[in-house]
Chains A and B, each alone.
Chain A
């Protein structure tokens, strides 16, 4: 920006973004945000035009999750703002730091049902960690700094800043020279370390239950050291995948509704559950009063409100995992428990000897996982393919497995992969999607085309909304209601229309070469993997059942 041009509210926005190290934003312009897009024209921040505001929000989420930085998205007022909401709700539910900027109609028009006016400030209450509406340009700089501070402090989350058009245009009289220092106001008085040490030293059959909080706290090294030194058998939630060392003999995989049999049985039998950055989600616990029914609980978390929310903690430890986990790290004598779970683990190992020539999705995903380069980042959509990816792929860091955990948002995978690829241009990014999910944000293929983003899309295609079909078959007497997708578009032709190289495979014999071709290709690629429509995700803990009552076949 030249010195002769006065600084506007819109210009100030990009100045603050740059102060916070933001290089990339995702968005879509429109009437009430035009002064901000005009200021973008003079800014060093790189903007990626997505093809729907929900795509912009999920790209910002993928960017944040893959890089550990804050994600930023922008949208105009009215429909632009409401289209962000699903992404904000997803970010809130999975604790992802995001700053969303929305344009608003001018302050004089607000409350008059003006064109493209909606009360996004009111709508944001249930889907953000906090939100602001800027009523005067003098407040703008402080509010923007606060938005970054709140998004990152304590349990992270999305913050929305709604900026009326006249505030974007207004001339800024005075700015701070530097960003005010961030202060962490989180006060965490509760840490029952001596009680936890007592529980730990008396436990005969403890289990370490690791959630998404470990990655968010950058405590992967600490949790791995704790697991290794104590020798406590460990399980992971969907969002915790990647935090633990998958080669550790005492690592038992994912627990919960589609968790491994050994993880669920071991948790059911444990006498002490050490929950680390995890929140006893219903998909993890199954029937809550029968979850780890004989266990005492040590609960590590950063969020006071998670303690005793769904399961009473005998020893709550609030605060930073990096500081608190080492306080409990000590060698324990657990040989007979380790031998028992390792025997169970060996008895329940996955089998990939699927009969016939049709392709077995778990085997494909296992092979993708084995062939993909080190530090590849995988995103998923939601459904059967998501659970197969969680079960059969291996990750060495939670930032390499991005999936919509709490919200379970179909349409997450493709835009999240775009954001991930932009944040990590030198790493391979792979989307595992389904034929239902891919259509939820299919317009983002245009974003891939525009910026030639080299993501690899593995499309698991059963011509069904597979997970809902599975539940209809198992729990609704096979009454298949609105789950058939036999009239899907030609996905190869669709990809080709966006200059994306594409290939379809239908036989087991084609799998290895197809995965290699996809990974070797420099640009974007779509691999359509046709599978049997009747394949189910196993094991499955039926609704309202205890985790030790899992089904392993129909």
Chain B
């Protein structure tokens, strides 16, 4: 899905393990103009916190998506992984 003139980003998103939180993140990501290139998600069953790694690309600044995902109710944190290639 990678288009050459788009910028690639990796987001690390920590969420409460609530129903449809993953769907919400995917919906916002698509609606705000970001292509999803890959995703990994794991739940820590001890504290019910899930860690989602989201690989996206877009011609829009990543801060737009970070701010929108941060607004979702069950989100604990969102950060851009600057070490990812």
Contacts and interface: CB of A to CB of B under 8 A. Distances in A.
Interface of A: 121-122, 125-126, 129-130, 133, 150, 303-305, 307-309
A81 to B, nearest CB: 16
Leading 6 A-B pairs by shortest Cβ distance:
A305-B67, A130-B73, A125-B27, A305-B68, A304-B67, A305-B71
A415 B31 CA distance: 30
A125 B67 contact: no
Nearest to B70: A304
A121 B68 contact: no
Interface string B54-73: 00000000011001101111
B20 interface: yes
Contacts of A126: 27, 31
B79 interface: no
A142 to B, nearest CB: 12
Contacts, number: 27
B71 A303 contact: yes
Contacts of A122: 20, 23
A109 B19 CA distance: 19
Contacts of B31: 126
B41 to A, nearest CB: 17
Contacts of A133: 19
A133 B72 CA distance: 16
Nearest to A303: B71
B48 interface: no
Size band of the interface chain B makes with A: 10 to 19
A121 B18 CA distance: 13
Given A121-B20, A304-B67, A150 B73 contact: yes
Interface string B28-72: 000100000000000000000000000000000001100110111
Looking at B20, B23, B24, the one whose CB has the most chain A CB atoms below 10 A away is: B20
B23 A305 contact: no
B69 to A, nearest CB: 9
A392 to B, nearest CB: 36
Contacts of B24: 125
Nearest to A159: B73
A67 B17 CA distance: 36
Nearest to B71: A305
Given A121-B20, A305-B70, 11 more contacts: A122-B20, A122-B23, A125-B27, A126-B27, A133-B19, A150-B73, A304-B67, A305-B67, A305-B68, A307-B67, A308-B63
Interface of B: 19-20, 23-24, 27, 31, 63-64, 67-68, 70-73
A121 B23 CA distance: 11
Nearest to B24: A125
26 contacts: A121-B20, A122-B20, A122-B23, A125-B20, A125-B23, A125-B24, A125-B27, A126-B27, A126-B31, A129-B73, A130-B72, A130-B73, A133-B19, A150-B73, A303-B71, A304-B67, A304-B70, A304-B71, A305-B64, A305-B67, A305-B68, A305-B70, A305-B71, A307-B67, A308-B63, A309-B64
Contacts of B72: 130
A308 B67 CA distance: 10
A184 to B, nearest CB: 13
Contacts of B68: 305
Nearest to A308: B63
Contacts of B70: 304-305
B71 to A, nearest CB: 6
Nearest to B18: A132
A309 B19 CA distance: 29
A122 B26 CA distance: 12
Contacts of B63: 308
A125 B67 CA distance: 17
A59 B10 CA distance: 43
Contacts of A309: 64, 67
B29 to A, nearest CB: 12
A143 to B, nearest CB: 11
A150 B74 CA distance: 11
Nearest to A126: B27
B38 to A, nearest CB: 21
A122 B27 CA distance: 10
Nearest to B66: A305
Nearest to A133: B19
A307 to B, nearest CB: 8
B14 to A, nearest CB: 15
Nearest to A155: B71
Nearest to A306: B67
Nearest to A146: B73
Nearest to B68: A305
Contacts of A308: 63
A449 B23 CA distance: 43
B12 to A, nearest CB: 19
A297 B73 CA distance: 29
Nearest to A150: B73
B61 to A, nearest CB: 8
Contacts of B71: 303-305
B75 to A, nearest CB: 11
